[in-house]
Amino acid sequence: MPYAVCIKCLNDTAAPILKLWDEASAFEVTASMAELNYPPHLTLAVFPDHPGRIVDGLDEVFAAEPKLTIAFDGVAYFDNDLLVLWARPRPNASLMALHQRLHRHIAPALCDPHYREGNWVPHCSLATKVPRAEAKAAIAWAGRTRLDLKVEFDTADLVEFPPVGVEQSYRLQ
């Protein structure tokens, strides 16, 4: 099973993202994010298998990491077999520095290429299984949806998925 390192929101600032989940799920057969049963999050790294020794480095990466407040300004999409809708964060130096610190502990070959330094697109997924038949409407919704919200990410996890199981968790300071 694959594994991921994520930061997630376990506080009331998640409410606007949860509302967007509801709106975006209208384009899906089933609500993918609700089905995931995991709070709003940003994925920093994905591994096809257990990352092994990376777990030791997570203590160092997250030991004194402060909570991250991320501002979002719009909705974008990844055009895959199934369209993925996501909240687009504004540029954030602290988030990029955290991603870089984490990846200093990861041999690039262990990590999915989309999540490696230089390739990673920070995003908070809103719907991950929009079928082709709904893509045009979903893309139109993304184009007209403007955001002005801030979410405080207060926890980091190493998770196995699917279904999501938290293997290790860190409360951010």
Distance of CA 123 to the CA centre of its chain: 5
H-run or E-run covering 126? strand 124-130
Kindly report, residue by residue over 118-143, the tens digit of the pLDDT. Answer: 999 999 999 999 999 999 999 999 99
Q: What is the mean pLDDT of residues 20-45?
A: 98
Q: What is the mean pLDDT of residues 49-71?
A: 91
What is 95-123 written as a DSSP string? Answer: HHHHHHHHHTTS-GGGS-GGGSTTT----
What pLDDT does 11 receive? Answer: 98
Res 55 pLDDT > 90? no
What pLDDT does 8 receive? Answer: 98
What pLDDT does 23 receive? Answer: 98
What is 45-72 written as a DSSP string? Answer: EEESS--TTHHHHHHHHHTTPPPEEEEE
Cα atoms found within 13 Å of the Cα of residue 85, Cβ hemisphere only: 33
Kindly report, residue by residue over 76-118, the tens digit of the pLDDT. Answer: 999 999 999 999 999 999 999 999 999 999 889 999 999 999 9
Lay out the sheet containing 165-171: strands in order across.
Answer: 41-47, 3-8, 155-160, 165-171
What pLDDT does 100 receive? Answer: 97
Res 58 pLDDT > 90? yes
What pLDDT does 18 receive? Answer: 98
Average pLDDT, the chain: 96
φ, ψ for residue 81 (rounded to 5)?
-55, -45
Find where tokens 């990029």 sit: 96
Q: Please name every residue paired with 72 in a beta bridge, in sequence order, or none if there are none.
A: 89, 149
Query: What are the boundaries of each domain within the chain?
Result: 3-165
Res 52 pLDDT > 90? no
φ, ψ for residue 30 (rounded to 5)?
-130, 150
The burial class, CB within 10 Å (0-12 / 13-18 / 19+), for 105 is: middle
Asked if residue 43 lies in contact with residue 116, where contact means CB atoms within 8 angstroms, the answer is: no
Classify domain 3-165 by CATH number.
3.90.1140.10
61 to 99, 101, 102, 122: CA distances (angstroms): 10, 7, 6, 18
Place 25 in a pLDDT band, splitting at 50, 70 and 90.
very high
Res 56 pLDDT > 90? no
pTM of the full structure = 0.96
Res 65 pLDDT > 90? yes
What pLDDT does 54 receive? Answer: 83
